[in-house]
Structures are given as C-alpha cells and as structure tokens.
Amino acid sequence: RALRGAARAGVQPPLRGLRASPRARSAMPSWVIDRYGRNDVLRFTRDMVFPTIDFPNEVIIKVHAASLNPIDLSMRSGYGATALNMKRDPLKLKSADTEFPLTLGRDVSGVIMECGLSVSYFKPGDEVWAAIPPWKQGTLSEFVVASGNEVSFKPKCLSHVEAASLPYVGLTAWSAVNQVGGLNRSNCSGKRVLILGASGGVGTFAVQLVKAWGAHVTAVCSHDASGLLKKLGADDVIDYKSGNLEEQLKSLPLFDFILDNVGGSTEKWALDLLKKWSGATYVTLVTPFLINMDKLGVADGMLRTGVTVGSKTVKHLFKGVHYRWAFFMPSGPSLDQIAELVNSGKIQPVIDQVFSFSEVPKAFLKLEGGHARGKTVIDVISKK
C-alpha cells in the first residue's frame, strides 16, 4: 500500500521488466457469448484469445475463482451495450460488434502471472482479488487482464472461492455508502441506517460494512432471510411480506441514511423516512442510465439521465434530504480497505452455491431463478 500511495503521489516507482509466463500461450479456455440473448448463447471454447498486456500498468491474473452478479445476466441479454461499446471503442476505430466473443464475469480471485513495466506493487505469484469493469473482457476464463489500480491483495483469511464472492458487491456497496453516501468509520457510529433489499449480495455486504462502523442497521428482506441478516449484525429485520412495508417502517424512528437496492415504487415513499434538514441521505443503486442510452442513444440518453437526476436532487433538497445515485466503481485502494475489514473478521463472504467451471450455464440458471441467499461462485480450477 505504501508503494501504491507513492505511485499516486507522483513518485516514480522503480521499473521492472515484463515477466513472461512459463510457456507462450495464444489461446485459453473461456465461456463466451457471440450474441445477446438467454442462456443458450453461452458457449465454451478452448480457443479464446489469450490476454495481453497492452499498457504498462496492467497485470495478467490466473483465475482461480470467479462469481456471478445480476449484471452478468443483464449483459448476457444486451443491457448497457450502447454505453459499454462506447467505452470499449470511444473513437469508433474498430468494426461493428467488436465486443464479441465477449466473456462475462466481473469478480476474480487468483494469482498474478505477468506484470507490466510500471507495476511495482505486485509481482508474479501474488494472490490477489479484483472486480473487472463491465467494459472489459470478464473473468469466466483461465486468465484475465486487469489494471494494477483495480487489483488488491486477497484477504489472507479467505480461500479463492470465498474471496471471489466479494469484490463486485463490496465495491458497489462501498461506492454507495462511502463515496456517494459519505459514511465512514469516523462518522457512522450511532447513525440509523436502513437497507432495502438487504438479502442480496450488495445488501449483505452493506449490512456488515455499516455495522462494522458502528451504525444501527435496519434490514428489509423476506422472512426466510431474516436469520442470515441477524447473523450478519442487523439490529432490526423487517419482513416486507408480513404487511404494508411503508407502514411498518413509518412506525420506526427516522433514519440518517437509506440504501435502496430495490427501486421502483419504493422511491416514492422511502425518502419520507429520513430525518429532515440533518444531512440525511438516500442512495439508490437502481438508475436508468444504461437503459436510457440503450433506448435513446448516447447523447439523448445522457441528457435524459442528467435531467432526471438533477430534477430529483433539487426536488428532495428543498425537502431537506439528499438524493443520490450510485454505481459500481473499480478500485484497488478501496479493496485494500475492504480486505482489512475481512481480515479483522468484520466482514465475511456470503455464498449460496459453488459451481465448477464446466457448470457455468447451470450457475447462470441458478442466478436467474432468484431468491439466492448469497453469491453464486465459480471454482475455475476445479477438476469436476
């Protein structure tokens, strides 16, 4: 972390030559899609192009484990393709459909195999974890390339399978709670936090995160997940199926912070649960940004999104509360802080089921079925 900090402060780290893997490779096993659609578009190949280091800050990771997130289901169906293709090829230098064959999967836990010339804080053989941004080739492969600033040392207390369950949901929750919501371990103690949709991957992480920082946590989930949420530290657990949720929550003291993983009609009444004129904040992870760009194109989609968030922010500011949108943001330094919490026992992985690499389509179907209590993980080096 000192070297990472030095690099960010402008201190030039010592250069180190490229470390080549033991044998030259041109292809690797991978799960890819060649078009958007349902589960039948998933295809296993042994001939996926082996990743290369194109920039001096990149590393190649041998994938030991990956996991699936709802974004993988959405991307399989083409969600966000307009925005993501713009990010992949902003100058439109390549031909159409350049994203195919596309590898899905955002989480990785594995071992560094090669390092770019300017990477000084990692070396081949280091055990690391990361969340790869959705505009890059994903982790359902034998190897994946990542920027050094997206990578962090894997928590020593976790196996690769356990570690692979955390980066994407952890960074999404971290973005919402810390970077957008402004909560941290110095100011969170005693605050009343409400988490809507608390039993999903982001929710279970967020419950543990704000609890580790000393907040009073109210979690909303279905009855069958209440035991899990209490085990993770939630002070109050509300079953949204046991009656009118809005009325149940209005009977409780007002909140300082709300994280909404549900969206929809929830947004119409949830902000009324916040303390007015006290800096209380509502953060939602359900935004129309990518949908607007898919439907309206890049320029009109960005304009529509900007108008929407701007009007909602101003409207609620006049009512004495802050309204915010949050997104996943890749960040090695944030993963460093998450790893400290994991190693200290304050955050634990929540895994629903583990599949072998040959069972990736089954894993997608499992995720598609919903009602998971934890993450769906792929053991990439499993011999099954």
E-strand stretches of 69-126:
107-115
pTM for the whole thing?
A: 0.91
CATH number for 98: 3.90.180.10
- Helix runs in 99-200, H state only: 160-163, 167-174
- Give a yes or no: residue 32 inside a domain: yes
Q: Is residue 82 part of a domain?
A: yes
Say whether 149 sits in a helix, a strand or coil: helix
Residue 97 pLDDT greater than 80, yes or no? no
Which is higher by pLDDT, 199 or 287? 199
In a domain, 99, yes or no: yes
Q: Is 132 within a domain?
A: yes
47 part of a folded domain: yes
Domain contains 107? yes
Please name which of 384, 367, 371 lies closest in space to residue 168, comparing C-alpha atoms: 367
Per-residue confidence (pLDDT) for residue 23, from 0 to 100: 46
CATH, residue 221: 3.40.50.720
- Report which of 185, 186, 187, 224 is spatially closest to residue 208, judged by C-alpha positions: 185
With cut-offs at 50, 70 and 90, classify the pLDDT of residue 9. Answer: very low
The verdict on 151 and 32 lying in the same domain is: yes
Mean pLDDT is lowest, of 41-50, 82-91, 251-260, 275-284, for 82-91
135 vs 91: CA distance, rounded Å: 15
Whether 97 and 210 map to the same domain: the answer is no
Q: Could you report the per-residue pLDDT of 108-166, keeping only the tens digit for each? A: 999 999 999 999 999 999 999 999 999 999 999 999 999 999 999 999 999 999 999 99
Lowest mean pLDDT among 16-20, 146-150, 229-233, 292-296: 16-20
Domain co-membership, 293 together with 186: yes
Mark whether 369 and 255 lie in a shared domain.
Answer: no
Tens digits of residue pLDDT in 208-257: 999 999 999 999 999 999 999 999 999 999 999 998 999 999 999 999 99
Which pLDDT score, from 0 to 100, does residue 306 have? Answer: 76
* pLDDT at residue number 89: 80
| pLDDT score of 211 | 98
Q: Would residue 126 count as lying in a domain?
A: yes
Examine the domain organization and report whether 121 and 151 are in the same domain: yes
Q: How confident is the model at residue 15 (pLDDT cuts 50, 70, 90)?
A: very low
The number of distinct structural domains making up the chain is 2
The per-residue pLDDT for 290 is 65
Give the structural domain span for 284: 181-325
Do 358 and 225 lie in one domain? The reply is no
Domain check: are 125 and 65 in the same one? Answer: yes
Question: How do 107-115 and 27-33 pair as beta strands?
Answer: unpaired
Tell me how far apart the alpha carbons of residues 7 and 118 are, in angstroms, rounded to a whole number.
Answer: 10
Q: What kind and span of H or E run contains 290? A: helix 289-296
Q: Look at residue 173 and give its three-state secondary structure.
A: helix
Render pLDDT for 321-355 as a digit per residue (tens, 0 to 9). 999 999 999 999 999 999 999 999 999 999 999 99
pLDDT tens-digit readout, 23-38: 457 999 999 999 999 9
Same domain, 118 and 201: no
Domain check: are 138 and 185 in the same one?
no
Residues 48 and 142 in one domain: yes
Mean pLDDT of 92-106: 81
Res 5: pLDDT: 56
Q: Does 243 share its domain with 290? A: yes
Mean pLDDT of 74-81: 94
Quote the pLDDT of residue 24. Answer: 58
Does residue 340 belong to any structural domain of this protein? no
139 and 193 fall within a common domain? no
| Of 4-8, 69-73, 192-196, 217-221, the least confident | 4-8
Residue 353's nearest CA partner among 380, 379, 323 is: 379
Among 93-97, 218-222, 367-371, 372-376, the least confident range:
93-97
Q: Mean pLDDT in the chain?
A: 91
How far is the C-alpha of 233 from the C-alpha of 209, rounded, in Å? Answer: 10
